[in-house]
Amino acid sequence: MNKMLSLNEKARAVIEPLIDEPDRFQVAVTRLETGATLIDCGIEAEGGVDAGVLFSKACLGGAGEVLINSFPACEGTTSAVSVAVDMAVEALMASQYAGWAINKGKYFAMGSGPARALYAGEKLFKEIGHKEKSDVAVLCLEARKYPAGEVVEYILGKTGVTAENLYILIAPTASIVGSIQISARIVETAVHKMREIGFDLDSISGGAGAAPIAPVAKDDLSAIGRTNDCVLYGGEANISVDCDDEFIREKIESIPSSSSKDYGRTFIELFKEYGDFYKIDPLLFSPAMITIHNLRSGSAFSAGSLNMDILKKSFAS
């Protein structure tokens, strides 16, 4: 770990424009009773496309690039988000991965962003060995309700920062920012899947990827379906590693979503059938396409393919 790196300070710099110019980004900035700053990116405020980009960059701890571009594979029906990351473990696993279950009282939300690396209470942090010390904490929540005072106090206790230095960004799934920030997890989804099937995280140096941005759905449940489908059926990731070619050949076909027994149906269809998010085959949660570039050998390996038929069905439902 680079001891000079502070993902939280980098993320704080990323969100500065949201705080300084909320009208421009269609967000609402509130100083909570606790003294923490809440940036509403899609609950009462609408949250614009540029806010979605900055929300996504904050999730990455300010250690990645996020751009909006076109997605011609889907016949012009949507745009796409592109992501590039050099510090895979820090930016993706220690920051962007939504691994912190904020569960206090009746409130629940999944937390991502670099505040996770201050808390470092997830089992994942024992593996990656990245824990930060910072006077500032930036936490990103995917939720429909604002966190109450007891929730904020819980977060303060876990991160160890003072209230005036805690920044909470929040956006529901069914919002412009929600659609963007979920598709912006395309590289993280690939790296997480690689970790699950046996890749050493230390062998992964970085990556880039792109995924279509889901049209905002009528409710959060429908949005969960569309946003997941953007990654599962429309997402492509390119990852750089340093390992043996033979290991890549052995594992690569297990990385894309097509390796799952649940592949081929929209996510909302699967959710309705199983009735439980956690009963869906974990192997499904992967990009549609993966390319691995081996820095050791110079070889490249690819697997998977885009599935526009399923994606268009998802957007139409």
Six token digits for residue 45: 């405020």
Residue 131's CATH number: 3.30.1030.10
Q: Does the residue 167 lie in any domain?
A: yes
Q: Distance between CA 41 and CA 46 in Å, rounded?
A: 6
Q: Does the residue 2 lie in any domain?
A: no
Q: Does the residue 136 lie in any domain?
A: yes
Q: Distance between CA 88 and CA 298 in Å, rounded?
A: 19
pLDDT score, position 50: 98
Q: Does the residue 283 lie in any domain?
A: yes
Q: What are phi and psi of 124, to 5 degrees?
A: -55, -35
Q: Does the residue 295 lie in any domain?
A: yes
pLDDT tens digit string along 249-290?
A: 999 999 999 999 999 999 999 999 998 888 999 999 999 999
Closest by Cα among 279, 43, 233, 41 to 138:
41
pLDDT score, position 72: 67
pLDDT score, position 2: 44
Total of domains in the chain: 1
Q: Distance between CA 217 and CA 223 in Å, rounded?
A: 5
pLDDT score, position 1: 41
Range of the domain at 153: 7-316
Helix residue ranges, H only, the chain: 7-20, 22-25, 49-59, 115-119, 124-128, 149-159, 176-183, 186-196, 220-234, 245-251, 267-274, 308-316
Q: Distance between CA 190 and CA 169 in Å, rounded?
A: 24
Q: Distance between CA 274 and CA 255 in Å, rounded?
A: 23
Asked if 93 and 192 count as a contact pair (C-beta separation under 8 A), the reply is: yes
Q: Does the residue 17 lie in any domain?
A: yes
Q: Does the residue 1 lie in any domain?
A: no
Q: Distance between CA 185 and CA 59 in Å, rounded?
A: 9
Q: Does the residue 276 lie in any domain?
A: yes
Q: What are phi and psi of 33, to 5 degrees?
A: -60, -30
**pLDDT tens by residue, the chain, 317 residues:** 445 569 999 999 999 999 999 999 999 999 999 999 999 999 999 999 999 999 999 999 999 999 999 876 655 457 999 999 998 999 999 999 999 999 999 999 999 999 999 999 999 999 998 889 999 999 999 999 999 999 999 999 999 999 999 999 999 999 999 999 999 999 999 999 999 999 999 999 999 999 999 999 999 999 999 999 999 999 999 999 999 999 999 999 999 999 999 999 999 999 999 988 889 999 999 999 999 999 999 999 999 999 999 999 999 98
